[in-house]
Amino acid sequence: MAFVASERPEAQFARSKLISKYGSVPESEADVIVALGGDGFMLETLHSDLTRRIPVYGMNQGSVGFLMNDYEVEGLPERIAAAGRAVIHPLQMDAWTESGEVQSGLAINEVSLLRQTRQSAKLRISIDGKVRLEELSCDGCMVATPAGSTAYNLSAHGPIIPLDARVLALTPISAFRPRRWRGALLPHQARVTFEVLEPDKRPVSAVADSMEVRRVARVEVRERRDVALTMLFDAGRSFEERVLSEQFTG
């Protein structure tokens, strides 16, 4: 096991305690990475593990902890051995700036387009090359993975998606026009293109998890089925169970 922790003092203390009990190996030599922190740190750990794609077992030493297991020092090897696997596929974001520069990134939760100023954003949305929404006036719009459907997507009143549903959520953020549009569920292989209308007057940024590109003109989003990342969850507390439970909480 390799133990990694966020900068929070409680996470660093937990890491020291676990290493003193179980020892630790470098991440490059590990069979499993134990991540101590919150959901944000779990995403950071998965992003840093894109090359080797080692399974990650998270323990909550943060705030929300939806993607994390409960923290407990005793019996960790047994918990990991009995853990279930959740395989997720990130989104590829390719963003063209107003100057013509292209920047790309991977998003485990969502790709978001957000207005940069007090002016609302105006976006044209195409799916697989066909324009589906000629003009969306909004604070922004996002494409969320099933893993990310319980994060920002849920806060924007998007749907919660089971991990094996093979669909993506297209969710507006504070849509002004058309008022009644609440988003769409898309096949996981769909390619989504956002075109920014009136970019000089209404600048827009694009964000793939924590990577931000400012003043974008066009953004394309697609799922990367060739990239598979694995999270481990305690027996009886699978990701699917958490998603189901989340839909019955107030």
| Number of helical H runs and strand E runs in the chain | 5, 17
Q: Catalytic: 234?
A: no
Can you tell me the distance from the alpha carbon of 67 to that of 79, in angstroms, rounded to the nearest whole number? 16
Question: How far is C-alpha 129 from the geometric centre of its chain's CA atoms?
Answer: 24
Q: Which amino acid is at 224?
A: R
The 3 state secondary structure assigned to 138-178 is ECEEEEECCCCCCCHHHHCCCCCCCCCCCEEEEEEECCCEC
Q: What stretch of H or E contains 243?
A: helix 239-246
**Which amino acid is it at 172?**
P
Q: Which residues contact 12 (CB under 8 A, 6 or more apart)?
A: 5, 6
Which of 134, 158, 164 lies closest to 241, judged by CA? 164
φ and ψ at 42, to 5 degrees? -60, -45
- Name the catalytic one among 39, 49, 94, 209: 39
So which residues are the catalytic ones? Answer: 39
